[in-house]
A and B are shown apart, each in its own frame.
Chain A
Amino acid sequence: MPQQQPQPSPSPKPKKKIRVPRVVNGVEQMVEIEVDADSGPGWGPNDKHTLLNHRLTRVDGPLKVAGAARYTYDQRLPGMLYGRILRCPHGHARITKLDTDAAAKIPGVKAIVPAPLTELRFAGAPVVAVAATTPEIAGDALRAIKVTYEVLPHVVHAHTAAQPDSPKVVAEENNLQEKAKNGDPAKVEAAFATADAIVEAEYITPRIHHACLETHGLVVDYRGGGSATIYASTQGTFTIPQDAAKELGLEQSAVESRVDHMGGGFGSKFGIGTEGMFACRLSKEAKAPVKLMLTRYDEFVMAGNRSGSWQKFKAGVKNDGTIVAMRARQYRLGGIGQGSQAGQPYIYRMGDTYREIYALHTNEDSAIAMRAPGHPQASFAVESLVDELAHKINMDPVEFRKKNLRDEVYHRQLDRGAKEIGWSRRNRVAGSGPEPLKRGLGCAVGTWGGGGNNQCKVDVTIGRDGSILVAVGTQDLGTGTRTFTRAIVAEELGLGMNDVKEQIGSSKLGSANPSGGSTTAASLSPSVKDASIKARLMMAERVAPLLGDAKPEEVVFANGKVSAKGQSLAWKQACASLPAAGITSHGEWRSDLQSRGIHGVCFAEVEVDVETGHVKPIKMVHVQDGGLPLNRLTLESQINGGMIQSLGMALWEGRVMDAQLGMQLNPGFGDYKLPGTLEMPELVPIIDDDDKREAVIGIAEGCIIPALGALVNAVFNATGLRIRELPITPDKILMGKPV
């Protein structure tokens, strides 16, 4: 693939020519290319890297395995207080009296801050927060607070909320809010008349919890002075200072946020949140540092969740496999919030289409972003629908998908996945295998963007002692950000992983984007690369005169040496020529070093015990493209993680609400079933190296999308039962009737 040049800008930058390694007729040689004068070449071919696209163990691994990585939850400051939040036990209520006198008298209780709102629209809404000298005393304080409520009518089930006589979540407003209508319904009706077969179906997914092992929360280190430090469990270092400063009454520049390590976010941790508002106010009142980490119960009832979905379809297909029309009515179930759901027919071509999208409100906390917001819900529904259509006209589901997917990348990936899972083993007639343990295979596809944006500023400093520091304020969610940041610099300078140190996780360092939408890799890595190239060129200028008066562009950085004209210096020798303060380069984002648009397919094999209803996943294969894999080891780990989280949604997870009480019935790991070690199938993560794009693209979200459809379709292939509501619990198998 030809080298991409930086995109033209209104005022063309000065250009220069540099020599870079290129494979010409199968032989690697140096060629001259033109680049921005202050910039450099691209990544080069994906198979020519010395560190990137290799299997790099993560650089913070040794700290994490030894318990030495310091998370927000691990912060303990002198004089620090522990915050807790009291929560509303009713689905909808108004506070008429709040009596905190007894709580205030408990020795050790240092601050009490009531919630700003007195009308509470969901069970779990915050009522009042306390700070005390120990977590135990903070708990005592909550128990000593007396709240008088006026209990109001509530509704927590979507089907009830859609009825005209349902209690209103917001007075004077309809629970059902129209959000979008796309397409021409008359054309769609006409197209249905041309179909050979019609499928009508409804699909439902429950609210899913992020279940970050480190709960939401932060430590506010404020003692009444003119500045503060906030340790936050967040996906956005730079999303913290502004709101915290406002709560504390400080200048934004006087507030530093720190995110050394964080224990999972999955889309749910941006900004200071309600808990941050309380922590700041408690700290301000007590004039002492306050740590407020949500309890696990809090985390379930108010820290957000993936919105539920309810989708109704009618679709028509011709006997040759062409889908001719689709009509969809989609409800986003986001509690008091708007929820999210990708529009149908998602990534398929379905001829004439018409869709209506609604938000349907209930008395539950607001849904918030969760890994690929709205996509797994849309994918589960449309992949089920596609499978039902294929079954209706008796066509192979893989061939049927190829027929209705324009993008050839899916075709190649479907072939690869089919081979890996052994697609020919599937039941030609669904449910035809021997009882009681019935096996079946299914597949599905997914997409995501994964492109970057122009927010990251990176500094690379090379010291006279040979040390190298790459600094940027970004955060590492466990996605391997530290590791690829270090690798990019080390590779550019021809060094090893241990020769570079990175500093991240502070709002006092160079700015960085929040880690949402799988944008971190594609936003950060171009800036790191840019800073690395500039540092190399600055070094080359310095060192060239020492290497037989070579030209700077002739200097080669490789294998720990700096060489030109047949002479070479060891790295440390070369650095000795630097000024006392060393050199620092500043990296900016380059759009040509990243791209967007990824493809993934998942295949699953399940075994269903039709006597107990138990579904056992046997094997899952996920094929994922994503341009240049920065680190194959951590990339495969992310693909595994996507499959496993999707598996949880398909088979076990889901919030259960009590209609009468308006409360969640499973707000803990004892009742909300997460995937565990005993349920793990064989997992096969496959990086699609046929993607030759020399560009970084984020994949974290893409790889959580298709497994839902693959699993539910595998259950169908095993049993002949079409399960249209997740999770696929045993009752649904036992009560199911073959379609």
Chain B
Amino acid sequence: MTKSRDGDEPKAQDHDPGRRRFLKGVGIAGAGTAIADHLWTEAEAKETQDGARRTVSGATKVTLQVNGQPRAVEVEPRTTLLNALRNHLEPAVTGPKLVCDMGTCGACTVLLEGKPVYSCLVLAVDAVGKQITTVEGLGSPEKPNAVQAAFVEHDALMCGFCTPGFVTTISAYLKKNPNPSLEEVREACKGNFCRCGTYPRVFEAALAAAKSSTPSSSPSQGGRN
């Protein structure tokens, strides 16, 4: 019995990054044409014309707007925004964490045009031309925003691996709803998991941050909705 782990039978010549990776991209993003159009001027990759779709393959240079800075980076069409930030940008942006890699835990949350997204489910090429704000763009250890300060004050973290995701989600939410109820806070961060068990204090911190002030001005542009 011959079987790969996936159950299919890959052949060496099947290793065609262009086709497979691009299809994977379309499958996730559902916007293949838009991806290609974004990149056309910068793509150094091979081009083919396939009906209305054009295929980009191989490594491609793009510019991402990260925390207000233009950042040049080489990615493949299949590279997720999270992997681009963590593994391709130089220097790396590692605030957003890779935890589940399937859009369930929220540890990779970043703001795209001010809206929280799971960056493990966004292709890097789909983020071109959009404002990307990570937890690093919300504040610094020396100058935290109101949510970050409240997280420290209320001990809303233990191991801290989920913390960037929670901070990012809540910071965005408080811009939308500066005076939430406890129930609204729970609802706002239901897409974020914590394993150490910090939830009650995350709620406390979010409510305290809302009370203390509107979140202090962040160096990046967010909150457009």
* A266 CA to B189 CA, complexed, in Å: 24
Is B158 a contact partner of A65 (Cβ separation < 8 A)? no
Is B4 a contact partner of A146 (Cβ separation < 8 A)? yes
Residue numbers in A under 8 Å from B144 (CB-CB): 62, 65-66
Residue numbers in B under 8 Å from A693 (CB-CB): none
Residue numbers in A under 8 Å from B9 (CB-CB): 146
Find the B residue at minimum CB distance from A127.
B5
Q: A66-B140, A68-B136, A102-B15 are in contact. Are A264 and B195 (CB under 8 A)?
A: yes
Find the B residue at minimum CB distance from A704.
B197
Asked if A261 is at the interface (CB within 8 A of a chain B CB), the reply is yes
Is A640 a contact partner of B148 (Cβ separation < 8 A)? no
Residue numbers in B under 8 Å from A68 (CB-CB): 95, 136, 140-141
Is A214 a contact partner of B102 (Cβ separation < 8 A)? no
- Listed stretches B26-34, B37-45, B49-57, B161-169; interface member: B161-169
Interface string of B182-225 (1 = CB under 8 A from A): 00011101101111111111110000000000000000000000
Is B152 a contact partner of A134 (Cβ separation < 8 A)? no
Is A670 a contact partner of B161 (Cβ separation < 8 A)? no
Nearest Cβ distance between residue A438 and chain B, in whole angstroms?
23
Residue numbers in A under 8 Å from B187 (CB-CB): 677-678
Is B97 a contact partner of A213 (Cβ separation < 8 A)? yes
* A136 CA to B82 CA, complexed, in Å: 12
Find the B residue at minimum CB distance from A75.
B94
* A243 CA to B204 CA, complexed, in Å: 43
Is B10 a contact partner of A67 (Cβ separation < 8 A)? no
Asked if B92 is at the interface (CB within 8 A of a chain A CB), the reply is yes
* A67 CA to B162 CA, complexed, in Å: 10
Residue numbers in A under 8 Å from B164 (CB-CB): 65, 67
Asked if B129 is at the interface (CB within 8 A of a chain A CB), the reply is no
* A105 CA to B9 CA, complexed, in Å: 17
Q: A68-B141, A102-B11, A683-B200 are in contact. Are A213 and B189 (CB under 8 A)?
A: no
Is B197 a contact partner of A645 (Cβ separation < 8 A)? yes
Interface string of B120-143 (1 = CB under 8 A from A): 000000000000001110111110
Asked if A369 is at the interface (CB within 8 A of a chain B CB), the reply is no
Is B97 a contact partner of A73 (Cβ separation < 8 A)? yes
Q: A135-B83, A478-B159, A677-B186 are in contact. Are A66 and B148 (CB under 8 A)?
A: yes
Find the B residue at minimum CB distance from A212.
B195
Asked if A644 is at the interface (CB within 8 A of a chain B CB), the reply is yes
Q: A102-B10, A145-B4, A148-B2 are in contact. Are A669 and B104 (CB under 8 A)?
A: yes
Asked if A351 is at the interface (CB within 8 A of a chain B CB), the reply is no
Is A211 a contact partner of B195 (Cβ separation < 8 A)? yes
Q: Per a CB cutoff under 8 Å, which of B10, B86, B134, B152 touches A143?
A: B10
Chain B binding surface, main DSSP class:
loop
Q: Per a CB cutoff under 8 Å, which of B79, B155, B167, B195 touches A57?
A: B155
Interface string of B55-96 (1 = CB under 8 A from A): 000000000000000000000101100010011100011111
Q: A213-B97, A641-B158, A674-B193 are in contact. Are A65 and B163 (CB under 8 A)?
A: yes
* A636 CA to B76 CA, complexed, in Å: 46
* A668 CA to B201 CA, complexed, in Å: 26
Is B92 a contact partner of A74 (Cβ separation < 8 A)? yes
Q: Per a CB cutoff under 8 Å, which of B5, B15, B99, B138 touches A296?
A: B99
Find the B residue at minimum CB distance from A682.
B200
Interface size bracket, B side: 35 or more
Is A296 a contact partner of B101 (Cβ separation < 8 A)? yes
Asked if A254 is at the interface (CB within 8 A of a chain B CB), the reply is no
Interface string of A245-277 (1 = CB under 8 A from B): 000000000000000011110100000000000
Is B200 a contact partner of A67 (Cβ separation < 8 A)? no
Which residues 29-86 in A have Cβ within 8 Å of B in the complex?
57-58, 60-71, 73-74, 76, 82, 86
Is B10 a contact partner of A680 (Cβ separation < 8 A)? no
Find the B residue at minimum CB distance from A296.
B100
Asked if A144 is at the interface (CB within 8 A of a chain B CB), the reply is yes
* A109 CA to B137 CA, complexed, in Å: 34
Is B140 a contact partner of A147 (Cβ separation < 8 A)? no
Is B17 a contact partner of A140 (Cβ separation < 8 A)? yes
Chain A binding surface, main DSSP class:
mixed
Residue numbers in B under 8 Å from A148 (CB-CB): 1-3
Asked if A101 is at the interface (CB within 8 A of a chain B CB), the reply is yes
Is B159 a contact partner of A262 (Cβ separation < 8 A)? yes
Find the B residue at minimum CB distance from A105.
B12
Asked if A149 is at the interface (CB within 8 A of a chain B CB), the reply is yes
Interface centre among A65, A71, A643, A676 (most CB of B within 10 A): A65
Q: A101-B12, A135-B83 are in contact. Are A214 and B159 (CB under 8 A)?
A: yes
Q: A89-B5, A213-B105, A669-B100 are in contact. Are A263 and B197 (CB under 8 A)?
A: no
Is B139 a contact partner of A669 (Cβ separation < 8 A)? no
Q: A66-B136, A264-B195, A645-B197 are in contact. Are A478 and B157 (CB under 8 A)?
A: yes
Asked if A451 is at the interface (CB within 8 A of a chain B CB), the reply is no
Residue numbers in A under 8 Å from B76 (CB-CB): 134, 136
Is A479 a contact partner of B158 (Cβ separation < 8 A)? yes
Is A58 a contact partner of B83 (Cβ separation < 8 A)? no
Q: A64-B157, A295-B101 are in contact. Are A641 and B198 (CB under 8 A)?
A: yes
* A668 CA to B101 CA, complexed, in Å: 9
Nearest Cβ distance between residue B199 and chain A, in whole angstroms?
5
Asked if A87 is at the interface (CB within 8 A of a chain B CB), the reply is yes
Q: A640-B200, A668-B100, A669-B100 are in contact. Are A66 and B2 (CB under 8 A)?
A: no
Asked if A440 is at the interface (CB within 8 A of a chain B CB), the reply is no
Asked if A190 is at the interface (CB within 8 A of a chain B CB), the reply is no
Is B95 a contact partner of A67 (Cβ separation < 8 A)? yes
Is B199 a contact partner of A680 (Cβ separation < 8 A)? yes
Is A637 a contact partner of B201 (Cβ separation < 8 A)? yes
Asked if A167 is at the interface (CB within 8 A of a chain B CB), the reply is no
Is B152 a contact partner of A61 (Cβ separation < 8 A)? yes
Find the B residue at minimum CB distance from A670.
B104
Q: Per a CB cutoff under 8 Å, which of B21, B83, B134, B141 touches A63?
A: B141
Which residues 619-654 in A have Cβ within 8 Å of B in the complex?
633-634, 636-638, 640-645
Q: Per a CB cutoff under 8 Å, which of A57, A135, A144 touches B15?
A: A144
Nearest Cβ distance between residue A710 and chain B, in whole angstroms?
16
* A638 CA to B158 CA, complexed, in Å: 8
Is A102 a contact partner of B186 (Cβ separation < 8 A)? no
* A670 CA to B104 CA, complexed, in Å: 6
A-binding residues in B (CB < 8 A): 1-7, 9-12, 15, 17, 21, 76, 78-79, 83, 86-88, 92-102, 104-105, 107, 134-136, 138-142, 144, 147-149, 151-153, 155, 157-164, 167, 185-187, 189-190, 192-203
B-binding residues in A (CB < 8 A): 57-58, 60-71, 73-74, 76, 82, 86-89, 97, 101-102, 105-106, 127, 134-136, 140, 142-151, 210-215, 261-264, 266, 295-296, 477-479, 633-634, 636-638, 640-645, 668-670, 674-678, 680, 683
Other A-B pairs beyond A89-B5, A478-B158, A676-B190, 11, CB < 8 Å: A105-B12, A142-B5, A143-B10, A146-B10, A263-B97, A637-B158, A640-B197, A669-B99, A674-B193, A677-B185, A680-B200
Q: Which 9 A-B pairs have the closest CB atoms?
A: A67-B95, A641-B197, A478-B159, A263-B161, A64-B160, A644-B197, A102-B12, A478-B158, A61-B152
Show 14 residue pairs from A and B whose CB-CB distance is below 8 angstroms, ordered by the A residue: A65-B160, A66-B141, A67-B134, A67-B164, A71-B97, A73-B98, A76-B92, A213-B194, A214-B97, A214-B99, A262-B159, A296-B99, A637-B198, A644-B197
